[in-house]
Chain A
């Protein structure tokens, strides 16, 4: 009892500081979370959340009964994992390379330019990609032609489609992704570099032994949070770019749910799929949180 009061006396300002934030998430996140019940209901609007009949796992059953479900899951995870890996590696590399630029204005210009594609929508980019990747007239295939490679129908070929998704997504987002690493770089103590230089370490060694360790907390954090996206392969992008010949390699959970939504006016199904995705994210994030704590003694959050 006594220790509790002492703790309260010492810590009350910290609790107080959390209060406004907590208020917001309780009102705008936790209260609406009651909607998760819809996943187990046949939702009837005028009976509401608390009056609609429960139907157990039927909404999940509908998902699992889908004949192509294994394919769809595989595509989702396959594309998502590649995006997570590339989406981590590329921005870090570019951030380090940008950091090596010596003239500040060149650095800033490049930073700004690579950040631009983030603001283009996939609706718009899909038209551009169809042009660029066209086997008959696209500039990309023409360049491949210089090396004697036959034209490839990137958007219409199941062997290529997932990679096109990953590469184009990385291209669109890496510039925006570098921002956070550039911020992390500013936090590295310059004296560490000086010390390393005195020890005779070249730039490469400095990158390896000073820069990367300095960025590590943010890298681990970004990795952990991105791992939660293992079932998000990017609806907007795939929806705008896929087509019947590549359904086999391109159909993901979200595009499937979207198409079901046109037939089905039910909210239960979409909620059930959303819940499933949340649970999977939760598991992945928890595991990586625990791993980071056990292995590196570092709490990500």
Chain B
């Protein structure tokens, strides 16, 4: 680190920085565009005049979004499902990935189990049987319908078990010699050392919960139980223009209003956007090795 980097190295670092800055800029543009639309007047947005800066600045769209009580309620339900769903799912993922990360000498049936889990990524029974199952369990209109079917995410399990495998065997052996059982090894050694992996799978779980809307529509018998994304679908979805009755005209005017759509999308995505920078602190390099040295 103290050694002065060579010219080639410096040239690389500078061009790398520029390249990544450019890429990031490309990703930021549409967000700015949507943000600009959300702060523009309805007519300017409808005429496609807004690029990266608001035209005829107004916060009307946000007033409209926040003025809806449903919005706040749906927001609360989404938070609930993310918190409960992520907690449950992470717990199950951590515990399920552990035995599956063992080799066949330690756990002879592991491969059979692994395939039993993987099979569920590939095959599913479809909408109706799943709905009937949820219904017969009495989960309709409850948070359980949103949380339980997503409780085990096999992809996350596989990801985590691959990270577990990378942990040095010595640590585990040492802990076993100390007389620790599987559970305490998992808790004391595996979990603290796989923080980056846990942050990753945790993020995937949260994003999955936050973004899914179809289950809310399917399993909630009362719109007041819709989570946020389901509620937003009710606002964004396109109308059936064939049978527009006179009463619906006003509704159409509101629905096709791009500015509030933009505002809604932005407000809805914001909470989940800020989760990632927060989780980044868990992406610590050398966490595993550090503990071995000690």
Contact = CB atoms under 8 A, between A and B. Distances in A.
B208 to A, nearest CB: 12
A265 to B, nearest CB: 13
A49 B124 contact: no
Given A29-B124, A32-B133, A203-B9, A183 B283 contact: yes
Chain B residues touching A, range: 35 or more
A69 to B, nearest CB: 22
B133 A22 contact: no
Given A32-B129, A187-B163, A128 B286 contact: no
Contacts of B27: 113-117, 171, 175
B121 interface: yes
A291 B92 CA distance: 29
A13 interface: yes
A210 interface: no
A115 B276 contact: yes
Interface string A18-55: 10111011011111111110100000000001000000
A196 interface: no
A271 interface: yes
A169 B200 CA distance: 21
Interface in B107-138: 107-111, 113-114, 116-130, 132-133, 137
B31 interface: yes
B126 A271 contact: yes
B169 to A, nearest CB: 14
Nearest to B155: A225
Interface string B41-81: 00000001000000000000000000000000000000000
Nearest to A217: B162
B96 A21 contact: yes
A262 interface: no
A218 interface: yes
Contacts of B95: 17, 20-21
Interface of A: 7, 11, 13-15, 17-18, 20-22, 24-25, 27-36, 38, 49, 94, 97-98, 100-102, 106, 108-121, 123-125, 128, 131, 171, 175, 179-180, 182-191, 203, 217-218, 221, 225, 228, 267, 270-271, 274-275, 278, 281-282, 285, 299-301
Given A184-B163, A267-B126, 12 more contacts: A13-B182, A20-B95, A28-B130, A34-B129, A97-B19, A120-B31, A124-B34, A124-B261, A186-B283, A187-B196, A221-B162, A301-B162
Interface of B: 9, 12-13, 16-17, 19-21, 23-28, 30-31, 33-34, 48, 92, 95-96, 98-100, 102, 106-111, 113-114, 116-130, 132-133, 137, 148-149, 151-152, 154-155, 157-159, 161-163, 165-166, 181-183, 186, 196-197, 199-200, 203, 207, 211, 236, 261, 265, 269, 272-273, 276-277, 280, 283-289
17 contacts: A17-B98, A21-B92, A24-B152, A27-B148, A32-B132, A33-B125, A101-B17, A111-B276, A114-B27, A115-B276, A116-B31, A128-B33, A182-B283, A186-B285, A282-B123, A299-B111, A301-B100
